[in-house]
Amino acid sequence: MIMLNQTDVTPASFILNGIPGLEDMHVWISFPFCSMYAVAVVGNCGLLYLICYEDSLHRSMYYFLAMLSLTDLVMCSSTIPKALCIFWFHLKEISFKECLVQMFFIHTFTGMESGVLMLMALDRYVAICYPLRYSTILTNPIIAKVGLATFLRAVLLIIPLIFITKRLPYCRGNIIHHTYCDQLSVAKLSCGNIKVNVIYGLMVALLIGGFDILCITVSYTMILRAVVSLSSADARQKAFSTCTAHICAIVFSYSPAFFCFFFNRFGSHTIPPSCHIIVANIYLLLPPTMNPIVYGVKTKQIRDCVIRILSGSKDIKSHSI
């Protein structure tokens, strides 16, 4: 029997085939992708600039928003430029190592996105339920520590998944019917047993997404109880309004994520692959595009800063409202 070592069954490169069944429409599909990516880059860079230089935004809520913006930038920049190269220039080849690096960034920063949304829910819980202790509970060192812990959680959980995928033998071709290197899409090209990949991927999804959703749910349950107990209708409305932008961010992030999760495990034979791939790209592109818009419209301090800059005011610094 001829024994094959890992180099014999590891392809030098993969071919990202884009959106199967819609190859003739790649150029047209690229325009909304490019437009959304441009809005995401400009919007999130603008938010980071404002939070960095505007004194009134040097608070925990906006530090978490800065984490979210940075995460969104990395998340969409890991996939959309390559997708546009596929759509416009037919540059479909990606080396095996580059594929693994892209996979690491995608899964790490989607996990980071979920974690930051959870931290923002806890921030709203403290702000509404313990307003007098808000600044003493969420100090800058605490914010830095929980942000670092969220990042390390994603990194430490994703690294084993990358190594498991790397060690698989690949002998079912090198064409990936996707616009980026999704872990399951790559693993399905293996002629080995991918049960470990599936089980570990599910475990990571539950440890990150499941835990974060539980924390968000508990936080908003406590927020709802606190707000309902307020005697003033104006106070209730003001408390709810501080959560509106965050709730929108949760919807933008988790809605396509749930679709992708259930499709990969239950709907692969009933839903067209093209639909899944489009939603998978929206999952990585919609939150970075919409979060700056929603927070810019719904958050008074950010809105006032933008208006002041657009009106030509020379003094960007302001006092807290």
10-residue mean pLDDT series, the chain (321 residues): 54 94 94 97 96 92 97 97 96 96 97 97 95 94 97 97 94 93 92 92 94 97 91 83 92 91 70 89 96 93 88 53 37
- Res 306: pLDDT: 87
Tell me how many degrees the CA angle 51-54-55 measures, rounded to the nearest 5: 110
**What long-range pairs does 144-151 form, CB within 8 A, spacing at least 24?**
146/119, 147/63, 147/64, 147/67, 147/116, 147/119, 150/67, 150/112, 150/115, 150/116, 150/118, 150/119, 151/112, 151/115
What stretch of H or E contains 101? helix 96-129
Please, which residues bridge with residue 170 across strands? 190
Query: Where does 132-232 have alpha helices with state H?
Result: 134-137, 140-166, 183-187, 195-205, 211-228
Give 55's contacts (C-beta < 8 A, 6+ positions apart).
317, 318, 319, 320
**Positive or negative torsion for Cα 108, 113, 118, 119:** positive
- Res 273: pLDDT: 86
Q: For residues 219-256, b (16+ Cβ closer than 10 Å) or e, as one string? A: bbeebeebbeeeeeeeeeeebeebbebbbbbbebbbeb
- Res 9: pLDDT: 78
User: Nearest-CA neighbor of 70 among 113, 100, 122?
Assistant: 113
Distance CA 57, CA 315 (A): 15
- Res 229: pLDDT: 87
Please give the model's pTM, rounded to 2 decimal places. 0.92
Give 224's contacts (C-beta < 8 A, 6+ positions apart).
none
Q: Sheet containing 175-176: give its strands across.
A: 93-95, 13-16, 175-176
79, 180 contact by CB (below 8 A): yes
- Res 317: pLDDT: 46
Distance CA 180, CA 271 (A): 19
